[in-house]
């Protein structure tokens, strides 16, 4: 029986995007997009999710792009402005699962320095029985080791776990380890899949 639910956070339960900050700092959308593509890249940010300290990340990028120093530093200094809040429709599904007494866990790619900020901002994190943060572990999804660490840390049998993530590479990695992996697209589709698994009831 699949009765344990593991959520990814960003893009599933929480609306995080650096554009929420940088739209305040750029006059033109195309300049912002060029900065995010060429300077504060996804690959650069992913290293913080895997445990790299932010001071090292900022120093490295400022050295390579000194003309953008203030903008680069804003990524960390004004990080709370990159988090718009929760995604209400998915949070409603989370509460339904909690009310149904489903064991709930989180597996997130998140910096160990910024995750505590987010946790202090949102009570939804308190609904989880356990959370594994990539930055604290020194590895990140889709590395299969972090899925195994989740299972080992919380003593979760893979054959009972439903894993929800909006990133297809993460879904594929989880499925290879025997988790029932759901590629998140929207809350309605997610709820239908959870009903099909017997975790939630059909709405009247």
At 23-70, the pLDDT tens digits run 999 999 999 999 999 999 999 999 999 999 999 999 999 999 999 999
Tens-digit pLDDT profile for residues 121-173: 999 999 999 999 999 999 999 999 999 999 999 999 999 999 999 999 999 99
CATH fold for the domain made of 4-15+84-196? Rossmann fold (3.40.50)
Tell me the pTM.
0.95
The number of beta carbons lying within 10 Å of the beta carbon of residue 149 is 16
C-alpha angle 171/172/178, rounded to 5°? 90
Residue 142, preceding peptide bond in cis (omega within 30° of 0): yes
Q: Is the pLDDT of residue 204 over 90?
A: no
Residue spans of the domains in the chain: they are 4-15+84-196, 17-82
Where does the pLDDT of residue 9 fall: very low under 50, low under 70, confident under 90, or very high at 90 and above? very high
Six-digit token string for 193: 């899949």
The percentage of the chain sitting over the pLDDT mark of 70, rounded to a whole number, equals 100
pLDDT value, residue 66: 98
Where does the pLDDT of residue 1 fall: very low under 50, low under 70, confident under 90, or very high at 90 and above? confident
Locate all alpha helices (DSSP H) within 50-178, ordered by sequence: 54-64, 69-77, 88-99, 115-121, 134-137, 144-154, 168-176
Tens-digit pLDDT profile for residues 171-186: 999 999 999 999 999 9
Q: Give, as one character, the DSSP assignment of residue 28.
A: S
Q: Give, as one character, the DSSP assignment of residue 101.
A: T
pLDDT value, residue 135: 98
C-alpha angle 72/75/80, rounded to 5°? 165
Average pLDDT, the chain: 97
Where does the pLDDT of residue 203 fall: very low under 50, low under 70, confident under 90, or very high at 90 and above? confident
Beta carbons of 20 and 81 less than 8 angstroms apart: yes
- d(C-alpha 5, C-alpha 15), whole Å: 20
Q: Is the pLDDT of residue 201 over 80?
A: yes
């Amino acid at each position: 029986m699949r009765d344990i639910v593991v959520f990814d956070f960003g893009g599933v339960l929480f609306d995080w995007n650096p554009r929420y900050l940088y739209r305040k700092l750029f006059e033109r959308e195309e300049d912002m997009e060029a900065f995010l593509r060429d300077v504060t890249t996804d690959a650069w940010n992913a290293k913080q999710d895997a445990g790299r300290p932010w001071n090292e990340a900022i120093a490295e990028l400022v050295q390579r792009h000194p003309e953008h120093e203030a903008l680069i530093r804003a990524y960390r200094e004004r990080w709370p402005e990159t988090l718009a809040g929760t995604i209400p429709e998915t949070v409603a599904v989370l509460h339904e699962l909690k009310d149904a007494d489903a064991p709930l866990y989180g597996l997130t790619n998140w910096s160990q320095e910024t995750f505590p900020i987010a946790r202090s901002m949102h009570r939804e994190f308190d609904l989880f029985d356990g959370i594994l943060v990539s930055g604290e572990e020194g590895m990140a999804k889709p590395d299969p080791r972090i899925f195994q660490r989740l299972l080992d840390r919380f003593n979760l049998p893979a054959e009972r776990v439903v894993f929800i993530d909006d990133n297809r590479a993460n879904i594929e990695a989880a499925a290879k380890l025997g988790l029932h992996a759901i590629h998140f697209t929207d809350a309605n589709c997610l709820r239908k899949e959870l009903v099909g698994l017997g975790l939630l009831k059909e709405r009247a």
